[in-house]
Chain A
Amino acid sequence: MSDVPFLSLLLLTYPVGALLIWLLPRLAAPRTLALLVHAFGLAVSLFVLGHFDSAQPGMQFAEQTAWIPSLNIHYAVGVDGISILFLPATALLFLGVTLASWNSARNLSRLYHSLLLLQAGATLGVFCATDTILFFLFWELSLVPFYFLVSLWGVGPHRGYAATKYTLVMFAGGVPLLFGFLLLAFNHADFSGAAMPGGLSFDLQTLLGMPLPAELEWAVFLLLLLGFAVKTPVFPLHTWLPLLSMEGPVAVVALLTGLKLGAYGLIRFAVPLAPEAAQSLHWLLAGLGTFGVLYGAVTALAQTNLRAMLAYASLSHVGLVLLGIASFNVQGIQGAVLQLLNFTLIAGGLFLITAFIQQRIGSTDTLSLGGAAKTMPLAASFFAFFGLASFGIPGTSGFPAELLILVSAVQTHTGAGLAALFGMVLGAAYFLNLYRRAFFGPARNASVLAATDLQARELALVLVFAAVVLAVGLYPQPLLDVIRPAAEAWVGRLG
């Protein structure tokens, strides 16, 4: 079993697929080939999930090869209960984005689909890497395709500015991350007493077991928190997200709201590597989280565009994840991981439907939508379903996640937990308000009247997402079982 490097196979699938699109142009249309590659990737990730031993807390499917031996940097990948579920979720979301842009990416479609494949490979790499420098490699690599996807296929007039801003903000956010990882490596060299280049260590497992002087630990935590907060995004570092969701190609923005790499980084690296500092700063995490929940919800109330509303809603929901992390108990972490998966399914699903609407109407503003439910009843009902799921209606996957987070938050940070609960109520308000204006009322716009409802391809895609949301919502236990041992180990490390 373990002699086949499944994770490397998964990570290689995508760049090889991107290459095939260019090398074998006559084999199939770029989008068909891309779809096959994404499907293969999904199959591999499901296979890995199927053979994952959920009783074990440690890294599985681990591989390690020297990469830059003189600096002790390795190509090291592995998955545990915290990261494993992100693999199929990510693969599924990319498959969805490919299908959602089936007809919209006509210009330079070979480039579009190969960039999307590269983006998928880099994103999966982020979830698999267990060497901090390898993680950083994937982290930064995931910026490049995005820059082009937004610059070239964005729908807004300021897409070039949005793409540049996003890339620069992320580059700047990468600096504290790299410094945090370097400080850890230096500390390992000091601690082991070995000479400088040889004593460095970037291996997550090694670094976890290494004692860290208090001031250094604070520095590491703050650096990593800053770096990850930019990407998550955490208020007040979030301004790129609404901009990008308005300017970028709608289907591709689903990746941004659907994949919260920053929050994953906090769970995977920032907290476990600097546990004492993280626990001392629990108020900061909980405060940022709560403020994000409320700020995102209130701002979402003021939006007239579905895409802007969804961007602020995702800011609000990611606040809950921070709150879950700040509780530092098993339920909180289980809830946080589950909530991150919800982003992929629910926020991703919402944005895919928004992409379908954008393709038909050419806008997602309530001014030009109004009455869309008449001509697009299916799109409207699925939008409502995912919307309800996003604020945790029982029976959807949002429910167990938010319940776990809120229960543990009320125990550990009572005030923050109650405030977040209030934020959820606000969430219902902004969603229902905007939903009413966009989908009900008299239809005036000619393109709304002429719009066709979801086609078979689109419907199938949305149904898959909805089915997973329902299945997880009705029977979350298997997923919680997968997360539990790793979450227990995670909490155990905090001491």
Chain B
Amino acid sequence: MPMTELFWNQHAAFPLLGTLQVLPLLTVLLLWRLGETSRVAAPLARAVALVELILAIVLYRQFDPALPGFQFAERFDLFGPFSYHAGADGVTVLFVLLGALIVFLIMLYSIVRRLPDESRLLMVVLAVEGVMMSLLTTFNLLWFALASAVELALVGYLIGRWSSAPEKDKAMRAFYQFQGVGLAMLLAGSLALGWTYHDLTGAAWSFDLFDLAGLALPAKLGAVIFFLLFYGLGVRTPIFPLHGWLPTVAQHGNVAIAPSLLLGVKIGIYALIRFVLPLTPDAAQTWAPYVAGFAMAGVFYAALLAFQQNNLRRLMAFAVISHTSLVIIGLFALDAIALQGALLLAVNFGLAATAMMLMTGFVYRRVRSTQLDKLGGLFDRIPAIGMTFFVAGLAIVGMPGTPGFDAAHLVLEAAIHRYGALPTVAAALGNVVAAGFLLWAFQRAFLASAPAERKTGVERASRMELIIAVSLVLIMLAAGFHMSPLLDLIEPPMEALAGTFHHE
């Protein structure tokens, strides 16, 4: 895959990507200086999240999908191989847009939820946004690994600090244990690649994507590095069977904000496309059937477990594991159409999962529980919130008219060619199973009659809740009915990536 880049000063007035990363971090510093009791803290944090969203839109408007290679590139030498090198292709733009949107929605959500220590919460969210932008734009693998560590540490803090469950320590512990192992693997894989570069070329160590991409890795070493990186990213994504932390964290951790940050923007999938597939193409191709096999099992395993759940949040955790497996099936078909489909699926699932989690947060605010037998009787009182949850569910099962359909359609098309008809039909039926547990959960959470012990009426949706719900639905429907701009964005880079794999 030929690597080319256009520097920012060739087509932009200021370093856009750098601003996206630095602005939230500087704001966090400023807020720190102002102190937690400052009255401007929360409005300022929300304003900066809005500015980030606007910057992301500016990036999208100024980005030219017709140009090959990366754009808006920035490079700055730091300590030898650990250098700042960032840039954007269509995939980056798509994920940056999604990330900025989700963070902004979280900011609005926090107005409704009124969690304790609000300004500290918003500082953590902004810090995560800055680091996330860095993860999405960097070309340096070591930078990516270290920034991952920072991001996950921040999210882990959020999970435990803003949860009212008695088992919140359990959630935090499970999160740090799993992510710690994953990060160690990721770091080991990165270091191994940096060292191999030095070993094979005789030059200094390098973690730069541009240097590493052309490297002819020996087969065995390639497999080891692929395994390390895949494992490392698989934990955070999460990919079956590395998902053990998610159900616990979802059930006992922070209700909506932390899961939206983690699962809304699927950094793991992004990094598989940005780093793993281009850096270890041969190993990826060799191991693709096994990865796809595990993913196929994951679709059904998680779907079946989802049916067993009595807690809405735990159920959604298994839903996420199930649909992430579908993304992996698409990715490892290693075909231009399937890659596009998988990426769109990841974005769609992220957006839909965020919508579901925010709506669950609104429900939790009223009922103080996400146990399904304590819910019910909600639709009459909060139809807009229920409807948004439902539309997000439809997006997850690939209903036409949502982005899920076009994405699943692309994945299925390629999968028929790659794996044959039967496994593909099985994967499609996995979607029907997902429809089953989501509809059933919706039925129990919103439509079933209210439990007898609930005496007071459920509060109607506030204006801000309506704004969040309606805008989520509109975004999903707009992307569903008008997918072409998104496809235009990711088609060229995915064609190029697929070109590195040889199908017989």
Whether the Cβ atoms of A144 and B399 lie closer than 8 Å is yes
Is chain A's binding surface mostly helix, strand, loop or mixed? helix
Contact B379 A182 (CB under 8 A): no
Given contacts A68-B406, A182-B416, A186-B416, contact A151 B443 (CB under 8 A): yes
> Can you name 7 extra interface pairs (CB under 8 A) apart from A137-B405, A200-B413?
A68-B406, A70-B484, A140-B401, A168-B435, A175-B429, A179-B424, A186-B413
A58 touches B (CB below 8 Å):
no
Confirm or deny: B448 has a beta carbon within 8 angstroms of a beta carbon on chain A: yes
Q: Which residues of chain A come closer than 8 Å to B432, judged between CB atoms?
A: 168, 171-172, 175
Contact B443 A160 (CB under 8 A): yes
Shortest distance in angstroms between A355's beta carbon and chain B's nearest beta carbon?
Answer: 22
Q: Does B32 contact A (CB under 8 A)?
A: no
With A172-B429, A182-B413, A196-B337 given, is the CB distance from A151 to B399 under 8 Å? no
Q: Is the CB of A68 within 8 A of B401?
A: no
Give CA–CA (A140, B431) in the complex, Å.
14
Given contacts A70-B491, A182-B416, contact A171 B447 (CB under 8 A): no
Q: Is the beta-carbon distance between B447 and A152 smaller than 8 angstroms?
A: yes
Chain A interface residues (CB < 8 Å from chain B): 68-71, 107-108, 111, 133, 136-137, 140-141, 144, 147, 151-152, 160, 163-164, 167-168, 171-172, 175, 178-179, 182, 185-186, 196-197, 200
In the complex, the chain A residue whose C-beta lies closest to that of B410 is A71
A164 engages B416 (CB within 8 Å): no
9 shortest interchain CB distances as A-B pairs: A137-B400, A160-B443, A140-B400, A172-B432, A175-B428, A171-B435, A164-B439, A151-B447, A171-B432
B483 touches A147 (CB 8 A): no
B459 proximal to A (CB < 8 A)? no
Instruction: Give complex CA distance A304, B401 in Å.
Output: 41
- Contact of B401 (CB < 8 Å), options: A141, A185, A196, A200: A141
A70 contacts across to B, CB distance below 8 A:
484, 487-488, 491
The answer for the CA separation of A108 and B416 in the assembled complex, in Å, is 44
State the total of A-B contacts with C-beta under 8 angstroms.
80
Inside 8 A of A182's CB, which chain B residues have their CB?
Answer: 412-413, 416
Q: A178: which B residues are within 8 A, CB to CB?
A: 409, 412, 428
Q: Are B380's CB and A108's CB within 8 A? A: yes
- Give, as a whole number of angstroms, the nearest-CB distance from B364 to chain A: 22
A133: which B residues are within 8 A, CB to CB? 400, 409
Closest to B379 in A: A152
A179 to B484, CA, bound (A): 22
Bound together, the chains give a CA A136 to CA B428 distance in angstroms of 15
Residues in B neighbouring A171, C-beta threshold 8 A? 397, 431-432, 435
In the complex, are the beta carbons of B439 and A147 less than 8 A apart? yes
CB under 8 Å from chain A, chain B span 426-445: 428-429, 431-432, 435-436, 439-440, 443
B318-353: which have CB < 8 Å to A? 336-337
A68 touching B483 in the complex, CB below 8 Å, given contacts A151-B447, A167-B439: yes
Shortest CB distance A177–B (Å): 11
The answer to the question of B425 belonging to the interface, with a C-beta cut-off of 8 Å to chain A, is: yes
Could you tell me the distance between the alpha carbons of A34 and B429 in the complex, rounded to whole angstroms? 37
Residue of B nearest to A160 (CB): B443
Provide a sorted-by-A list of 23 A–B residue pairs whose CB atoms are within 8 angstroms.
A68-B483, A70-B491, A71-B409, A71-B410, A108-B383, A136-B400, A141-B401, A144-B399, A151-B443, A152-B379, A163-B443, A164-B436, A164-B440, A167-B435, A168-B439, A175-B425, A178-B428, A179-B424, A179-B425, A182-B413, A182-B416, A186-B416, A196-B337
